[in-house]
A and B are shown apart, each in its own frame.
Chain A
Amino acid sequence: MNTRIGTRETDDPLLEVEDLHTTFTLGHGSVRAVDGVSLTLHRGKTLGVVGESGSGKTVLSRTIMGLNTASNVTISGSVRYAGEELVGRPSKHLRSLFGPEMAMVFQDPMTSLNPVVKVGRQLTEHVRYHLGLGKSEAEKIAIALLTSVRIPEPEARLDAYPHQMSGGMRQRVCIAMALACGPRLLFADEPTTALDVTVQHQILNLLAEQQRDRAMGMVLVTHDLGVVAGRTDEIVVMYAGRVVERAPTTTLFAEMRHPYTEGLLRSIPKTSEAKHTRLNAIHGRPPDLLSPPPGCKFAPRCPYAQERCRNEEPPLTDPETPGHSFRCFYPIGTPENRAAYESNLAAGLPQTLAAAGQLLATEEVA
């Protein structure tokens, strides 16, 4: 049987990540995909990790779980799971944690199930391996799991192949698979990105419900601030491999301070807007991580960027409200920010003009 590390009663965090770096060495340089990330997750809580494609959020979750094992990957820093350091542990040890302690739901259910292996076996092979169960016991568990993720006719599904199921069904299978050994920490890496909007809600609700029932900690990785809004306790916003803002969910939405977080929020289309309104994209592209800008990584796209931002990287501030820190010299809502905006607007900085256009558009509708 699996042995639990630590106990449920303690108030120690379930997951503590400190100054984690993941570097990919490529032929023509190296990419720091995760660059000094620290975060904490308590038992039974949900942490949202938000950022654009390429911000390092997927690499972060895979690094925490120890799944980045390619030979060109260098990892430094610390990942403590229930008090136990995981960085540098042999993969054999990590494997014993995968399933009973931590599990992951991946982004694309169309490709994350093996097309030539029956659903029943995929659901329970690790249960049998970790818990040493027989075939008939495993089958019972598989049926119970499929029932718990609300798949109709679970008995019949055991002999089905993944291609005989819809995307939403497959993601339910993936969730059931991740939950099979009763993990205490679940990583959900963009679990709904590849799905229909109608199915997205069902899957997110299912995850939330399972998390509640099982008192799991969950790391919900997404590019969509809307997804994490009502479903997380704390949010970490990532940009170019770094945490740029971190706050309890309610605090973040009440008083976001980082211009990137603001940009992400503004880029969510609203139904209250007039039809055919131009989508509010963040100006420009994420930086090339092979040669990142010297100062603040967001400065080239930031409507408030000043000379200082381009030369000096702002540190993560000490929390002013509890648990709220950010990486910005001119945070949103300060007079300095307003002044920076005015001067950039007067100077005709393209991203500021773009942002101004967006502001005007939303003000008109309001």
Chain B
Amino acid sequence: MARVIATRLLRLVATLLAVTFLTFSMLELLPGDPVDTLLPPDANRTEELVAQIRAELNLDDPFFVRYFSWLGDFVRGDLGKSYITGQTVADTIADRLPITLQLAMMSIGMALLIAVPLGILGAYKQGKWPDTVTSAGVQVALSVPNFIFGIFLIWLMAVQLQWLPATGWNRLTDQGLVANLKTSVLPASALALSQLAVFSRLVRSDMIATLQENYVLTARSKGLPDKYILFRHALRPSSLSLMTIVGINFGALLGGTVIIETMFAVPGLGFRLINAINSRDILVIQGITVFIATAYVVINTVVDLLYSALDPRIRRS
């Protein structure tokens, strides 16, 4: 176990080095200057002022000097602060993360809750009408981009039925669960749809393969009811690839719910990242990127641990 963790940590360090360096280089290639966004549009833009700001932010140092100075701060636990707002990057992440985390977990939870039974049903009734109907539904869900579904949800639930607000976010900690759910259900649903489709496909195909296994025939020959066989014998061996995809999705959702967060005006991490990119707020971009990369590595480790919980053959002695 100690060795596993040590390897993971090494891998994390390597990943972070690569990711931060690449992000830094990419930002170097971007046209535009943070100074432009720092100065108010009506400001009297003088050469001296610009030079002064550039000097304050160390923007004139060579690329490698800036990268390694950032890296040095990072190693000491200092992610720096935003050029624009002055908020520290650590605070920014701590502020935005709970929102994005909740959206990610909610959407994955909702997708799993529906997808697993659907996938099992499809496999169990393979080729019969329940399978045909769910497969068709899944096909549709797969082909609808999540922002289109988001627009539909806003139209239906906010405009037509007026049950839920179209945009905004109530924090769980400030406004309580009900108020929070009112603002979180729609974006989470919008994110859940395509995941649901992918998950149920995976479960269905893995389940179909599992149901061909000899041990399922053995279970049937013992007179066990189908439901018991499906859930107690076939589900676990059929959920390994599901685990992988859930892990990947989780990582992707932490950094990539930009469109949905923007559409529903949810002040999450992705939303903030896009702002930072638009304003060339390099330290914020770096900080969030580092966080997402770390999250990926952690999630992958958790998925690996889940594998061995699901399949005793993978467990180390």
Contact = CB atoms under 8 A, between A and B. Distances in A.
Interface of A: 65, 67, 71, 94-100, 103-104, 106, 108, 111-117, 125-126, 129-130, 161, 163, 174, 177-178
A106 B216 CA distance: 12
A112 B215 CA distance: 4
Nearest to B234: A114
A100 B221 CA distance: 11
Interface string B195-225: 0000000000000000001110111111111
B232 interface: yes
A99 B233 CA distance: 17
A112 B213 CA distance: 8
Q: Which of A96, A115, A116 has the most CB of B within 10 A?
A: A116
Given A116-B310, A116-B311, A161-B313, A71 B223 contact: no
A67 B215 contact: no
Interface of B: 127-128, 213-215, 217-225, 228, 232-233, 236-237, 310-313
21 contacts: A67-B217, A67-B220, A95-B224, A96-B223, A98-B220, A98-B223, A103-B221, A103-B222, A115-B215, A115-B237, A115-B311, A116-B236, A125-B222, A125-B228, A126-B223, A126-B224, A129-B224, A129-B225, A163-B313, A177-B222, A178-B221
A96 to B, nearest CB: 7
A104 B222 CA distance: 8
A104 B166 CA distance: 60
Contacts of B219: 114
B214 A117 contact: no
Contacts, number: 75
A111 B221 contact: no
A73 to B, nearest CB: 14
Nearest to B233: A114
Nearest to B128: A71
Contact of B221 (A65, A117, A125, A161): A65
A178 B232 CA distance: 19
Contacts of B233: 114, 117
Nearest to B126: A71
A40 to B, nearest CB: 22
A95 to B, nearest CB: 4
A96 B223 CA distance: 6
Given A95-B223, A97-B223, A174-B218, 4 more contacts: A95-B224, A114-B233, A115-B215, A116-B310
Given A117-B232, A161-B312, A161-B313, A98 B218 contact: no
A115 B217 contact: no
A95 B312 contact: no
Closest 3 A/B residue pairs (Cβ):
A98-B223, A126-B222, A111-B214
Contacts of B220: 67, 98
Contacts of B223: 94-100, 126, 129-130
A99 B228 CA distance: 16
A67 B224 contact: no
Contacts of B218: 104, 106, 112-114, 174, 177
